[in-house]
Amino acid sequence: MSIEVDYRFPPNIDAERQANVIAIGQTAGTWNEWFSHRDASLKSHLAEVLKVETQEDCSIATVRFPEANVEGDIASLLTMIFGKYSMAGAAKVVAVRLPEGYGTRPKFGIEGIRARVAVPKRPLVMAIFKPALGLTAADHATILAEVADAGLDLIKDDEILGDLPEVPTLERLAACREVIERVRDSSGRNLLYAVNVTGAADRLHEKARQLVKAGANALLLNVLAYGFSVIEALARDPEINVPIFAHPALAGAMCASPDTGFAYSVILGTLMAHAGADAVLYPAHYGSLPFDATEERKIVENLRSRRVFPVPSAGIIPSIVPRVLEDFGSDIILNAGTGIMDAPHGPAAGVSAFFEALEEAGFRR
């Protein structure tokens, strides 16, 4: 099996030439008569330019890399397809096609998360603790009780809330776990709380295990800030037997430029889906962040092709629910931050407004 990458170049770049630079420079690295006695072993590692298509406003070159050059993970893949070449000028990675078995499979994905919350069909509703900073563990529990009783399916920490002395992660979890258990005992519903796991890589992994032992039923990871190698380690660890929610923090630094970096659909779609994420957050194009509808569609397709749950976020409010459902159907997690926590009549009413919107679209609670 091989790995195919589409590179997009602006019209002023000789795409054919650059594709050849990539095919050699990102594999053998050098290729001249000095190494001619190693021809056979070198050739097996060289990438191949499959095609170069010139369009009106750009050229797209497709390069095929041998899978034998990398280690079956995302970090070595990134280094190979764009490591040094990312610094070579205007070029953007707009698609990556990987062998089915490449990378790390999600342990839960859409079906696994649905089974955990016992909601087989309808879109799920997720909230975010707000404000992001300044709440105590008890505040988290109070807020959670309010939204949980209103029927919420999932809640997550804000991505900027780490393991801070005033509100240690384990204390937040302990306080919220009581609420989750009470709701389960009284209503049978099992709310998932994606706890933000942070720290240097070794401590982060150890903390993730501690959290799971302490009853965490989901984790949140800022994959791009901490590293793809970190989510792969968590996803491959049998002790981490809870869904991992991938947050897109920093994605704009790698994806927002028109001519450099990666397409959002590569980072938040293909690579997250092959890195073991069970659900991936991304900015919905209806929302508060500028986002391209086509990229969003590709993200959803790339995630669902591996049964990873798409989580449109940022500016999600009840009034856009019909559009989300029309565009993407029901295998979606509606993730509302201020849309619930800043709702005019309070967070519980905010949750109810989402369920009312779902009911109008024909989905029972």
Examine residue 1 and tell whether it contacts its own copies (CB under 8 A).
no
Examine residue 29 and tell whether it contacts its own copies (CB under 8 A).
yes
User: What is the nearest approach in angstroms of its own copies to the Cβ of residue 89?
Assistant: 5
Examine residue 210 and tell whether it contacts its own copies (CB under 8 A).
no
Q: Reduce the DSSP state of residue 59 to 3 states and report it.
A: strand
User: What is the nearest approach in angstroms of its own copies to the Cβ of residue 361?
Assistant: 27
Residues 58-77 that bind its own copies (CB under 8 A): 68-71, 73, 75-76
Backbone angles phi, psi at 221, to 5 degrees: -135, 130
Nearer to its own copies, 214 or 225 (CB): 225
Examine residue 240 and tell whether it contacts its own copies (CB under 8 A).
no
Q: How far apart are CA 278 and CA 303, in angstroms?
A: 9
Residues 76-135 that bind its own copies (CB under 8 A): 76, 78-80, 82-90, 93, 104, 130-135
84 assigned to active site: yes
Out of 50, 145, 174, 249, name the contact with its own copies by CB under 8 A. Answer: 249
Report the relative pairing of strands 260-262 and 279-283 from DSSP bridges: unpaired
User: What is the nearest approach in angstroms of its own copies to the Cβ of residue 255?
Assistant: 8
Handedness of CA 135, 138, 144, 147 (dihedral sign): negative
Closest CA to 312 of 264, 359, 241, 348: 264
Only segment of 35-43, 110-118, 179-187, 323-331 that touches its own copies (CB under 8 A) = 35-43
Active-site residue (options: 43, 51, 84, 92): 84
Q: How far apart are CA 227 and CA 148, in angstroms?
A: 32
Backbone angles phi, psi at 53, to 5 degrees: -110, 125
Nearer to its own copies, 114 or 205 (CB): 205
Examine residue 30 and tell whether it contacts its own copies (CB under 8 A).
yes
Q: How many residues bind its own copies (CB under 8 A)?
A: 93
Residues 144-173 that bind its own copies (CB under 8 A): 158-160, 162-164, 166
- Return the ∠ at Cα 154 (arms to 149 and 156), rounded to 5°: 115
The number of beta carbons lying within 10 Å of the beta carbon of residue 184 is 13
**In the structure encoding, which two tokens stand for residue 203, read together?**
């401590």
The number of beta carbons lying within 10 Å of the beta carbon of residue 52 is 19
Catalytic residues: 84
